Amino acid sequence: MTGHKTLDTLFAETSLEGKRVLVRADLNVPIGPDGKVSDATRLERLLPTLRDLAAKGAKVAILSHFDRPKGERRPEMSLKPVADALAELAGIPVAFADDCIGEAAASAMNALANGGLLVLENTRFHKGEEKNDKGFAEALAANGDIYVNDAFSTAHRAHSSTEAIAHLLPAYAGRAMEQELDALSKALGEPERPVVAIVGGAKISTKLDLLGNLVAKVDALVIGGGMANTFLAAKGVKVGKSLCEHDLADTAREIMAKAEKAGCKIILPDDAVVAAEFKAHATSRTVAINDVPDDQMILDVGTSTLATLAGHFETAKTVVWNGPLGAFEVEPFNVGTDTAARHVGMLTKMGSMVSVAGGGDTVAALNGAGAADDFSYVSTAGGAFLEWLEGKTLPGVAALEQP
């Protein structure tokens, strides 16, 4: 599916000794109340690219945005603390330049030894960044001979440091970007069939593009969570006090019709866990889907639905997952999501399928189930993962596919 060049292509093409490489990373990591990085997952995923470039003797400068300074220099949104955390994690010194363009960036780059590492200050301190301004991209590119994008999570945005710059320098995908693109391509590009997609979450209004794209590509689409209620109601099922977008009944019917035409089987819950209120350990029970009482709400899928899903998982070769099957944050309404996630995780571990998950609450839900590590790939790129699942072109990825 992808025609991007990788670091292996780069290393085969040219010697990197003393070359200036600009790496677009996602250093937009969470910072705790003590001003320190509280979750270093994104930094850890960046290390293979940095290590490989350093080993080849390149001078590496990292470009990234941080938070939303909206084109202004905001000291509290400086990347300096992140650069320090990166140095600690990588176990090597990391220089810092207090601007990503101009003299500060140029002299810091020049001062780097071969194999040295530098973080440039927040790209969004400049207004040009979010406008994908060519002049700003040229100012960034002035400090590099080669561009490497390792930030899939920002690839859905056409910004100067993710898009315009890739047209100005020879451009390559970093290791983490390559891994993400490979995983996604396996899941929906040329997947092994049958492909089962699971889409859950609160509402269909936020996932219309997603559902529309998936029904054209997958063999079976499991709809769970609050959004299943809208489909059930559109089929005439009484959903009581459940979360339901009744005004989208026609849209739900259109999606079901599109699925039927495309040969995609839509799987809706045939039973549900219901309660009178949405609160932890509320009295709940499992009822057949046609027996939801008027004064109760659907908060999870039931055991019969889980048995149906298990049958589909057993034969699936590929599973793509976005969104929980129930209100998983509150016990016991996590049981459906947990059970299904563990089953997919186990089958993946046994080698019988490829499973890819991501977007929004999905990572939290799979972590809660203790299943995330067993999936083939869990994407931490929320917006970019969803846009990819929606079949949209990601500008930051497309820009890497220049001839």
> Given the rule CB under 6 A, which residues bind ligand AMP?
201-202, 206, 225-226, 243, 298-299, 323-324, 326-329, 360-361
Distance CA 381, CA 365 (A): 15
Q: Out of 51, 80, 131, 203, pick the active-site residue.
A: 203
Which phi-psi region, left, alpha or beta, contains residue 229 (left: φ > 0; alpha: ψ -120 to 50)? alpha
In the complex, the smallest distance separating the C-beta of residue 306 from ligand AMP, rounded to whole angstroms, is 15
Structure tokens, 188: 């929906």
Beta strands at 171-173 and 146-149: parallel, antiparallel or unpaired: parallel
| CB of 334 vs ligand AMP, minimal distance in Å | 9
User: 116, 226, 360, 396: which one is catalytic?
Assistant: 360
Report the distance separating Cα 66 and Cα 137, nearest Å: 17
Which is the catalytic residue, given 57, 382, 383, 391?
Answer: 383
Give Cβ neighbours of residue 210 (< 8 Å, ≥ 6 apart).
199, 322, 386, 389, 390
Q: Is 3 a catalytic residue?
A: no
Q: Is residue 42 among the annotated active site residues?
A: yes
CA 270 to CA 282: how far, in whole Å?
Answer: 22
* Smallest distance from ligand AMP to CB 213, Å: 16
Nearer to ligand AMP, 138 or 329 (CB): 329
Which of 299/347 has CB closer to ligand AMP? 299
Closer to ligand AMP by Cβ: residue 1 or 364: 364
Q: Are strands 59-63 and 117-120 parallel, antiparallel or unpaired?
A: parallel
**At closest approach, how far in Å is the CB of 270 from ligand AMP?**
15
Q: Which CB atom, from 225 or from 345, has the smaller least distance to ligand AMP?
A: 225
Which residue's C-beta sits nearest to ligand AMP? 201
To the nearest whole angstrom, how small is the minimum distance from the Cβ of residue 362 to ligand AMP? 7
How far is the C-alpha of 347 from the C-alpha of 349, rounded, in Å?
5
For residue 322, count other CB atoms closer than 10 A to its CB: 23
The single residue of 5, 20, 24, 42 carrying the catalytic annotation is: 42
* Active-site amino acid positions: 42, 203, 360, 383
